[in-house]
Structures are given as C-alpha cells and as structure tokens.
Amino acid sequence: MRELLQTKVVAHSGQKVHLRFQPVMHVLDGTSFGTVCEMSKRFEEKAAFGPAAATQSATGPAKWLADRLLEVASAAHTFDNRMRPIIVPAPAAALGDDNTAVGCDAAIRRTTLCQQEISLEFQDSVFADGRTEAIHSVASLRKRGFRVSIDMRKSWQTQLRDGLGLMIDSIRVDARELQINEELMDLCEFASATGILVIADKANWRDGAFFDSLGVQAGVRMRTDC
C-alpha cells in the first residue's frame, strides 16, 4: 500500500506548502481507512509581539485553518476514495474562534471535496479539562459535516464516556506507549467499542494481531522489521 504515500507541493498566497499524506491502513490486511496529512506549516499558538502580533491578528486560527483546508483540497483533488477521509491537524485556538466552523465550511465549498472527507484533528489537551466551549465548537463542526479526531499520542485525558465521545470519529495513539500502558489499552478498547476508529501511530506490522485484539484496527506510518 506504499503507493498511497504521497508528497505534494501546492502554492498558496505566493508560498509553496509541502504536504505529506500518510496512508491509514488496517493493521492486519492493509485495507485503507484514508490518510493523515502532515503539513509544513504550524499555527503559532503562543503570544506574539510587535509586527508579528499584527500578522497573527490578521490571520486568526479560523482563517489559518480554512487556508490550510484549501491547500489540502488542492493537493488531494485527484485522490481516489482510498485516500479519504483526510485527517488534518488543527490548532487548539481554532476551537475558541467563533468563525472556525463557518470559515472551514465556506473553504471546502470552494473545492471538489466535501466536508465528510475532512477530519479535523485536535490535541487531547484541548479537551482534557472538559471545557464546554470546546465541546460546543466540535458540535458546530459536526453540524456542518466535518469529522473530528483527537491526537492522543502525547496524552489521553479526554473523557470519551461523556457526550464528546459521540462526536469523535477517530483517535490516534502512540503504538509504543500502547504496548506498555494498561490505562491506554483500556481507553482504546472502550473507544473501539463505541465506534471510534483507533489509529496506532508507528505500529509494526508484526504486532497487528495484538493491536486488533485491543480494538485498534488501523495504523499509520506502519513499520516492518527490515
């Protein structure tokens, strides 16, 4: 399935943007579950001062994310169904911007993709304290058709047993941590039982049966012994 691994360079606002699409595959038979997009750009979450502050203000998190979706759509318009949905990393600040859902929706409507083919991935830390605002923002994205994912490779404190879990399409965990942490194993089993796709990052093909037994059906950046 390595033919699904693709690197694209697209032009946006006069700048070249590098996008790498990593295939998400079943840990046993390699069936495709879509892709994870790795972007060369990152939103600056910390405070900025001087001229940088003016630039950051003009390009808030909602506008920044909408621009990234245009880039992803431009690169992915020729992809077949195996490459979708596309998991796109999203900044935490986007959940605090009232314009995020509307802006992302408007951006995708200008492309050949549809909202259901995009899964916006937020860090686990955004939801760890159960903030109502973040959950409402996820609901707004879901209402417009977007999928929502959680990156749990560094932490896994989000309470999926609450209403938020019903709105999450997938979670991504560190395969190495999963093999040694029973708490994370329990979380993955619960998530899988509720219909959430669990993706093991950097999983080894030889461990596919073990991951599958935990309900971890998918892997990304899969590895071999050779």
The mean predicted confidence, pLDDT, of the chain is 88
6-10, 75-79, 216-220: least confidently modelled range: 6-10
pLDDT of residue 41: 74
- Count CB atoms within 10 A of the CB of residue 133: 10
CB-neighbour burial class of residue 142 (10 A; exposed 0-12, middle 13-18, buried 19+):
middle
Task: Read off the pLDDT of residues 153-190 as tens digits, 9 standing for 90 and up.
Answer: 999 999 998 789 999 999 999 999 999 999 999 999 99
Task: Read off the pLDDT of residues 125-154 as tens digits, 9 standing for 90 and up.
Answer: 999 887 788 999 999 999 999 999 999 999
Residue with tokens 């495709």: 32
Mean pLDDT over 191-208 rounds to: 97
Name the pLDDT band for 3 (thresholds 50, 70, 90): very low
Tokens at 48, concatenated: 């900025």
How is domain 2-175 classified at the CATH fold level? TIM Barrel (3.20.20)
pLDDT of residue 47: 41
13-27, 102-116, 198-212: least confidently modelled range: 13-27
pLDDT top residue among 79 and 11: 79
